[in-house]
Structure 1
Amino acid sequence: MPSFLERVNDKSETLTASEKKIIEQLEKHEKPFLLSMNELSNLSNVSEPSVVRLYRKLGYASYQELKVALAQEHAGNVPSFSSDGNEIKEADKADVVFEKIADQLSSAMVMTKDKLNVDQMEEAVEKIAKAARLFFFGQGLSGTIAEDGAHKFMRIGGTTLAVKDPHYQAIYASHMTEEDVVIAISHSGETVNIIEVVDMSKKSGATCIIITSNANTTLAKMADILLLTQAQETENRSDAMISRLVQLALIDTLYTRVEIAGGSDIKKAVNQSRLAVTRMKK
């Protein structure tokens, strides 16, 4: 399979001025695979459609495929997998790897805490507590976070659903009302299907709470309530492991606040849920 540079050289005669600006940014950025499409377009002073036209011209099916290719090529050119002083090396045994990952997670939690918008969090708590229906939308690995979130919040009673299939998401979104709340999860903030169903949900009147990593992404700009997680992912973790753990902690925080601040009805519902589960244990 041709490398990014080989693809660029092959198409060099057909590249436009805008596309050359994008390539220049990708080549000089230390870790281009961590850039969102919005960030790349801003750095290059071009539109996002220009980025789309470039990755298609180079033979990539999606922006995510381009980022994965860049990450894999970058991994082949550098000896270590992290730039934060906790490099994971081939010689590291399991206990050392665990310690370094724990340090990276700790750093990500501190960064997220420092960036936490308390007003946005408390507004989210208020909206969730009053919601007639609560939907968690996520796709791929973010879908597992959505399922975990729904599993927690169903304890407060009412209708709580985790929806991972984009067609199901679209159907639910088309029937939402102002009493519904959507929690959409996307680390990149550029997942096309999630952007589409959030747009549909907003048009139906639902409140959309977005959990993502960057305020400049397309999805973040659509948020009624924006909750940001901070994590330095590295090229050997394309599945955004640290980010997922921080997202889980953020959702746990929301749930705990809703349970505490939600009044007697929610406390009663949570106790009923606990009792129901206890009856199934020996």
Structure 2
Amino acid sequence: MTVSIRLQIKTMYNDFSIKEQAIADYILENSGKVGHSSISDLANELEIADSTFFQFTKKIGFNGFKDFKIAMLIQENDLSAISIHENIQKDDTELTMAQKVFDSNISTLTDTRKLLREEDLKQAGNIINSSKRLFLFGVGGSEIVATDAYHKFLRSPIPVFHSTDYHIQLMEVSLMTNEDCAIIISHTGRSKETICIAKFVKESGAKIIVVTSQASSPLAKLGDVVFLSLSEETEFRSEALASRIAQLSIIDSLYVIFRFFNQEKSEKSITKVRHVISGIKK
């Protein structure tokens, strides 16, 4: 696996059964022990069948327990490094706290970059490039990422639409056609409002690019292309804060890719924007 087992488990956690969540919790809490134990020892401790643990390792992307155990041993040092900045301690100085936040953000970007696939980036670029209009949707903290995307894509040749008001977002989605596309952002991928928007987009026939932290979330299942943002957190930061850094970077990547699909038109768009803005900076 290219991403840490710890983050893979966190990404899929909400879609595990109760028994699978118990296995996941054990691995997260005893990562050092798991890599040095047999499947029978782990199954006995969890009071489950060997086959149950074996099937869990397959569910998170491995060929079986042996493959999983090797990956655990390889990543053991990485997991130890993560724990250094995972929690802010009471006795930490302000500088140490800030450094841990930076370390967490760096880790978030590194882990998210490992999940990027060229075919997904190409497909997303082609979707935007072949669409007449681009719509951006997000609520709560994700709306901030959507607004940032709107600010960027305004400089591109494609007509772009975004509103901070959810009711207006619903009105916008009602006007979408199969010639349009949407980028929909949600940290959990489970927001009722966002899923409602995605279903309406799907009904219109428009393509959907999803940016989320949950691979098996309802929103991810509605996407034509899905980009995952993964993050380790410090104790006093919500998950959405760290994942936002990765989501912004994914949006930046899509913007740059689309611009290079349309270099001449993009340069004209940017020139027009710069010309207008320069008038108020003198």
Paired residue secondary structure (1:227): strand
**In structure 1, what residue type is equivalent to 2:130?**
K
Q: Distance in 2 between matches of 1:41 and 1:125?
A: 29
Check if 1:166 corresponds to 2:166: yes
Displacement after TM superposition at 1:271 (Å): 2.1
Displacement after TM superposition at 1:173 (Å): 1.4
**Equivalences for 1:40-51 in 2 at 5 Å?**
40-44=14-18
Displacement after TM superposition at 1:83 (Å): 6.2
**Equivalences for 1:49-128 in 2 at 5 Å?**
84-86=83-85, 87-128=87-128
TM-score (norm 2): 0.70
Q: Distance in 2 between matches of 1:235 and 1:209?
A: 31
Q: Which residue of 1 aligns with 2:44?
A: none
Q: Distance in 2 between matches of 1:280 and 1:269?
A: 18
Displacement after TM superposition at 1:164 (Å): 3.2
Greater mean deviation of Cα atoms: 118-127 or 258-267: 258-267
Q: Which residue of 1 aligns with 2:69?
A: none
Check if 1:180 corresponds to 2:180: yes
Displacement after TM superposition at 1:210 (Å): 0.3
Q: Which residue of 2 aligns with 1:7?
A: none
Q: Is the 8 A contact 1:233 1:240 kept in 2?
A: no
Q: Distance in 2 between matches of 1:35 and 1:114?
A: 16
Closer/same/farther in 2, CA of residues 216 and 41 from structure 1, 3 Å limit? closer
Q: Distance in 1 between matches of 2:224 and 2:14?
A: 24
Closer/same/farther in 2, CA of residues 253 and 158 from structure 1, 3 Å limit? closer
Q: Which residue of 2 aligns with 1:198?
A: 198
More helix as a share of residues:
2
Cα RMSD (Å): 2.5
Q: Is the 8 A contact 2:189 2:218 kept in 1?
A: yes
How many percent identity over aligned positions? 31
Displacement after TM superposition at 1:279 (Å): 2.3
- Deviations along 1:152-178, one digit per CA (max 9) or x if unpaired, are 001113421223333222221122111
Q: Which residue of 2 aligns with 1:252?
A: 252
Q: Which residue of 1 aligns with 2:134?
A: 134
Q: Distance in 1 between matches of 2:207 and 2:262?
A: 18
Q: Distance in 2 between matches of 1:147 and 1:88?
A: 30
TM-score (norm 1): 0.70
Structure 1: give runs of 5+ residues left out of the alignment.
1-29, 47-81
Displacement after TM superposition at 1:110 (Å): 0.9
Q: Distance in 2 between matches of 1:182 and 1:103?
A: 32
Displacement after TM superposition at 1:84 (Å): 2.3
Q: Distance in 1 between matches of 2:171 and 2:10?
A: 31
Aligned length: 215
Q: Distance in 2 between matches of 1:243 and 1:204?
A: 29
